[in-house]
């Protein structure tokens, strides 16, 4: 049977569309032709640059020393993520992970390397301290922002303590903070400037700039993100082994059975010996009573003595 779409030697239900998307389409990830890397934050094309909320955090390495790491704050991600490069640089240990990750359209966007554990805190304060278990991947996104931001945007917010002081320069992102921390990061204070400038949101890391800028360009790359993760495979395997596992039965050891039989025989022998001994005693008493029955009247004519003998 041939496919009606590509005339391939397979059924139409298993057809995979390999056509190249147009430059204006929204993609769920990107991969290089020379490197085997995947990105979680996809790219789309738009007429202006949209700033994604980034911040600088201090991350504690395996020896207890804190390092500066650039993070992307994203409420569209269900988990936290960290790049493999940052994981190796800070000496974190990897643990196995069966989580599958999907982006826009529930399409798988990368290969999960594992999961690790780390702690982060603001650059200018020791509190709060967040303990997170980020999923390790090759790449989170390309350099953010995708182009230099005009100096006018920086001048607009020069009176604020920014969470990312180099927000206007394209830089790498090594950490993604998802929805599990989103509401612990922001406190609700927002500054809305004039149109064409990004909004400023106050967070525990400082003021985070996010939104469209007034940079005019015919074709610019705009980062988009919608990440979901699930442990469906792990749950299915756990359920499979629970169904397939035979019911638990206690199988006694041969030594235990042998000891049990010996104890039963000893108890049985003891009981029988007790019964036989009591039976002999009662039989002997009955024989003595019968032997003395015919001489009692002759030897005990005294009534008081007779009662004493009977009582004895």
* The pLDDT value given to residue 86: 95
Higher pLDDT, 84 or 15: 84
Which of 5-14, 195-204, 209-218 is predicted most confidently?
195-204
Q: Average pLDDT for residues 188-216, to the nearest whole number?
A: 88
**pTM for the predicted model, two decimal places:** 0.57
CA angle 89, 224, 91 (to 5 degrees): 10
CA-based nearest residue to 149, from 95, 79, 220, 228? 220
**Residue pLDDT, tens place only, 96-129:** 887 777 776 666 766 788 999 999 999 998 989 9
Report the C-alpha dihedral over residues 26, 31, 37, 39, rounded to 10 degrees.
Answer: -10
Whether residue 85 is contained in a domain is answered as yes
Domain limits for position 225: 36-243
Both tokens assigned to 205: 């890391």
- pLDDT band, very low/low/confident/very high, at 225 (cuts 50, 70, 90): low
Sign of CA dihedral 286, 288, 291, 292: negative
Whether residue 280 is contained in a domain is answered as no
Structural contact between residues 58 and 119, judged by C-beta atoms closer than 8 angstroms: no
**Residue pLDDT, tens place only, 57-111:** 999 998 989 999 999 999 888 889 999 999 999 999 999 887 777 776 666 766 7
- Distance, CA of 253 to CA of 185 (rounded, Å): 59
**Residue pLDDT, tens place only, 133-154:** 999 999 898 888 988 888 889 9
CATH number at residue 138: 2.40.70.10
Indicate the SS3 state at residue 249.
Answer: coil
Both tokens assigned to 198: 């990004």
Whether residue 78 is contained in a domain is answered as yes
Helix (H) or strand (E) holding 256: helix 254-293
Show the DSSP H helices in 117-231 as ranges: 151-156, 179-185
- Distance, CA of 283 to CA of 288 (rounded, Å): 9
Q: In total, how many domains does the chain have? A: 1
Structural contact between residues 87 and 260, judged by C-beta atoms closer than 8 angstroms: no
* The pLDDT value given to residue 112: 86
Whether residue 271 is contained in a domain is answered as no
Whether residue 230 is contained in a domain is answered as yes
Higher pLDDT, 6 or 154: 154
* The pLDDT value given to residue 99: 78
Whether residue 222 is contained in a domain is answered as yes
Whether residue 295 is contained in a domain is answered as no
Percent of the chain with pLDDT over 70: 52
Query: Percentage helix, strand, coil, to 5, in the chain?
Result: 30, 25, 45
Whether residue 7 is contained in a domain is answered as no
């Amino acid at each position: 049977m041939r496919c009606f779409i590509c005339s391939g030697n397979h059924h139409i239900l298993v057809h995979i569309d390999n056509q190249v998307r147009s430059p204006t389409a929204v993609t769920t990830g990107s991969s290089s032709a020379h490197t085997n890397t995947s990105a979680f934050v996809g790219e789309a094309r738009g007429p202006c640059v949209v700033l994604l909320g980034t911040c600088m955090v201090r991350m504690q390495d395996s020896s207890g020393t804190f390092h500066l790491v650039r993070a992307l704050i994203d409420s569209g991600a269900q988990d936290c993520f960290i790049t493999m490069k940052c994981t190796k640089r800070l000496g974190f240990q990897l643990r196995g992970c069966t989580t599958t990750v999907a982006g826009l359209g529930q399409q798988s966007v990368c290969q999960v390397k594992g999961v690790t554990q780390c702690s982060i805190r603001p650059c200018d304060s020791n509190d709060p301290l967040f303990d997170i278990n980020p999923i390790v991947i090759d790449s989170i996104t390309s350099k953010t922002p995708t182009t230099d931001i005009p100096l006018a945007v920086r001048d607009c917010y020069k009176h604020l303590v920014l969470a990312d002081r180099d927000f206007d320069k394209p830089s790498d992102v090594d950490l993604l903070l998802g929805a599990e921390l989103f509401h612990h990061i922001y406190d609700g204070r927002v500054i809305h400037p004039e149109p064409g400038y990004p909004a400023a949101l106050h967070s525990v890391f400082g003021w985070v700039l996010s939104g469209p800028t007034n940079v005019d360009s015919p074709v610019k790359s705009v980062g988009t993100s919608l990440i979901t993760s699930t442990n469906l495979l792990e749950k299915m395997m756990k359920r499979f082994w629970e169904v397939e596992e035979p019911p638990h039965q206690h199988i006694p050891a041969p030594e235990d059975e042998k000891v049990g039989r010996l104890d039963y025989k000893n108890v049985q022998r003891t009981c029988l010996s007790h019964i036989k001994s009591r039976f002999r005693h009662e039989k002997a008493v009955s024989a003595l009573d019968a032997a003395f029955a015919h001489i009692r009247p002759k030897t005990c004519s005294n009534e008081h003595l007779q009662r004493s003998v009977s009582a004895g």
